[in-house]
């Protein structure tokens, strides 16, 4: 079983719809992240959370919101989807208890297409 | 602004030869650098990292070199194997603000 699970894996929807992407993890990590990947731009950070009561904006948070329902769950919402939010979305986790900088562990991604 | 740049979108090498992937960064506050490998339909997986206090880190066939004065790092894979064919992302972060930035990726193809 995957340590970081994203649902759905693929979603096609229409402009103006509300979309929620979900992420759950079994790694027991406190820190969780949402990124989007666009061709030629790599991964860009949308939001991150260091624990259940902590939410922080990333590089490109406009048009998105998040909810950290529990240590293991971090969901990303698009309140009113627009076509330029079509992208591959990744959730990631990391464990600060190992000290200092630590690599992040990624889910397999959600491919979102907005028509 | 793209603070981490991978200027080569693709690289092709012969099996058994060395693969060298390059990455440049602009933010001198970055103190931790990583390489991730990504196969199609999967998320990026951590490959190797280096702290800014070092200039080299080795892990088996993979070696990362850091040149802080040039703000440049590279990943060497030797010998390259067909299973190494993937997209490689360079990333950099700062421990204080946990802001990790990624390059656009380099697609490596290792030909048998």
Q: Specify the pLDDT at position B97.
A: 64
A7/A30 Cα distance (integer angstroms):
20
Q: What is the mean pLDDT of residues A73-100?
A: 91
Higher pLDDT, A101 or A11: A11
Q: Which pairs with CB-CB distance under 8 Å and at least 24 residues apart come from B7-12?
A: B8/B106, B9/A40, B9/B104, B9/B105, B9/B106, B9/B107, B10/B106, B10/B107, B10/B108, B10/B109, B11/B106, B11/B107, B11/B108, B11/B109, B12/B108, B12/B109, B12/B110, B12/B111
What per-residue confidence (pLDDT) applies to A100? 63
Alpha-carbon gap, residue B57 to A29, rounded angstroms: 26
Percent share of chain B, pLDDT over 90: 89
Q: Does A49 touch chain B (CB under 8 A)?
A: no
pLDDT at A99 over 70: no
A chain contacts of residue B4, beta-carbon cutoff 8 Å: 42
Contact between A103 and B46 using a beta-carbon 8 Å cutoff = yes
A11 and B CB contact within 8 Å: no
Q: What is the mean pLDDT of residues A92-113?
A: 87
The confidence score (pLDDT) of residue A49 equals 94
Tell me which residue of B37, B36, B69, B35 sits closest to B52, measured CA to CA: B69
A vs B: CB pairs below 8 A:
57
Distance CA B75, CA B78 (A): 10
**How far away is chain A from the Cα of B99, in angstroms, using its nearest Cα?**
8
At B105, the pLDDT band (50, 70, 90 cuts) reads very high
Q: What does the pLDDT look like over B45-103, one tens digit per residue?
A: 999 999 999 999 999 999 999 999 999 999 999 999 999 999 999 999 987 766 789 99
Tally the residues of chain B: 112
Closest residue in A to B49 (Cα) is A103
**CA-based nearest distance A42→chain B, Å:** 4
Q: Please report the pLDDT score of residue A48 as a whole number.
A: 93
Q: How confident is the model at residue A96 (pLDDT cuts 50, 70, 90)?
A: confident
Nearest to B105 among A42, A107, A108 (CB): A42
Nearest C-alpha of chain A: how many angstroms from B97?
Answer: 10
């Amino acid at each position: 079983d995957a340590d970081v699970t994203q649902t759905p894996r693929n979603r096609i929807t229409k402009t103006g719809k509300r979309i929620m992407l979900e992420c759950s993890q079994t790694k027991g990590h406190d820190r969780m992240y949402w990124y989007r990947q666009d061709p030629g731009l790599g991964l860009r950070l949308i939001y991150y959370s260091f624990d259940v009561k902590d939410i922080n904006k990333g590089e490109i948070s406009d048009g998105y919101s998040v909810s950290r329902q529990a240590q293991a769950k971090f969901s990303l919402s698009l309140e009113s989807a627009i076509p330029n939010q079509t992208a591959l979305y990744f959730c990631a986790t990391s464990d600060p208890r190992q000290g200092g900088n630590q690599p992040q562990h990624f889910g397999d991604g959600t491919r979102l297409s907005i028509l | 602004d793209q603070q981490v740049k991978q200027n080569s979108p693709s690289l092709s090498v012969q099996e058994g030869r060395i693969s060298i992937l390059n990455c440049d960064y602009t933010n001198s506050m970055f103190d931790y650098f990583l390489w991730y490998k990504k196969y199609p339909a999967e998320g990026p997986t951590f490959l190797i990292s280096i702290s800014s206090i070092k200039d080299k880190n080795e892990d088996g066939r993979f070696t990362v070199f850091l040149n802080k004065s040039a703000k440049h790092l590279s990943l060497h894979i030797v010998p390259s194997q067909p299973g190494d064919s993937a997209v490689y992302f360079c990333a950099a972060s700062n421990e204080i603000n946990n802001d990790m930035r990624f390059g656009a990726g380099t697609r490596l193809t290792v030909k048998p």
